Amino acid sequence: MILKSLSAAAFVAIASKHTAAFVPQQKGSHQATRLLNQIDPVQIKKAGAGIPTVSAGGLLVFDPEANGKLQGTHDLQSRILGGAAFQLAPPQFSLDVPPPGATVEHAQHFLEHLDADGNLPVNFAKPQAPAKATVLGRAKLITDDAPGDIEHVILKLPEGFHYVEGQSLSVIPPGVDPKNGKKNKPRLYSIASTRYGDLLDGNTISLCVRRAEFIEPDGTKDPAKQGVCSNFLCDVKAGDEVDVAGPVGKTMLLPEDPNKDIIMIATGTGIAPFRGFLHRLFMENTLAKHMFGGNAWLVLGVPVSGGLLYKEEFDCMQRSSNQLKIDYAISREMTNSIDGGKLYVQHVIAQNGKELFDRLDAGAHVYFCGLKGMMPPILDTLDEVAKSQGCVWSEKLKELKKNNQWHVEVY
């Protein structure tokens, strides 16, 4: 570019710190060169010449560390400084060939995509247009001396019906409501299996169902007051069809961080979602199992030993891992150390209050599932524990909810 304010021919280029003007090196031109070097770049630009520059080393135009990685082989600055002596860094891993000495195992993986992107499988079918599931089997879970009847039901789902651990399934029992003549309403059940199902084929789902019965003071049962859906499920046979909808639910999901502790507090059939959790973390050969770096703590409350649900499975998990702790509160057979009365889940919380709060302070997620009557005494106990730990429970609860560490599903 020709500088209008100078008689000598001059050209502008980029120097290290400023816009500099250069003139042909002719005899007697040193004075013109000194003059050009004294001119401010802004003044040159206003005069219609020059181009804007940035200070040397500012990395405003190109940052080698951010833009010069050259397909992972090394950064651009190292290549320039190394010159002919530069060598490519050896590859650290291969997607196709495991490193020498590595143990290769076949893992369940074909349904890991279901929640990989943050989305969840929901409402494959809705109650107004339910899908048909087929009963594969049913088994009683408790002994005859335990009160009531609890059944484990396995259903085969239609193609494409998937779910993840912690979600729920709606079951629409056959028949009509005698009160209004309309179809029976759907009942929601926590899913008791992992996304792969008990058969590990990705097409089955398991439910843990307590038969709802009304017993008169004289000990007789009133069929008119029994639970419609629970009695239907507790009586199904292999091959029967069941109308189902869902899945639904985002409250009871496992933490995204595999290094977080999980604390599970259940009564009775509230064990259902936690069975799915524990199978995923300790039984199935999945990436979730291999990546789990936290600890799991289960507190299960039942009336008698014969009512302990899935105990054999949990025993097996404990034998194979030191990351699982289980406390049983068997109310009719155990006493608590607080007042000497029956042992319930809230007493287990009270007896381990400091450990519970220490885990929560470290980021643990706590889950509650079971009859809604379990929550008032638990909340009262947590309030007392909070006082002993020098904090206000109402404020602590807000903090847990804000951090998504508090999960409740009661019915």
First-residue to last-residue Cα distance in the chain: 81
What secondary structure, in 3-state letters, does the chain show? CCCCCCCCCCEEEECCCCEEEECCCCCCCHHHHHHHHCCCHHHHHHCCCCCCCCCCCCCCCCCHHHHCCCCCCCCHHHHHHHHHHCCCCCCCCCCCCCCCCCCCCCCECCCHHHHCCCCCCCCCEECCECEEEEEEEEEECCCCCCCCCEEEEEEECCCCCCCCCCCEEEEECCCECCCCCCECCCEEEEECCCCCCCCCCCCEEEEEEECCCCECCCCCECHHHCCHHHHHHHCCCCCCEEEEEEEECCCCCCCCCCCCCEEEEEEHHHHHHHHHHHHHHHHCCEHHHHHCCCCEEEEEEECCHHHCCCHHHHHHHHHHCCCEEEEEEECCCCECCCCCCECCHHHHHHHCHHHHHHHHHCCCEEEEEECHHHHHHHHHHHHHHHHHCCCCHHHHHHHHHHCCCEEEEEC
CA 123 – CA 244 distance, rounded (Å) = 10
Q: Which residues are catalytic?
A: 189-190, 369, 409, 411
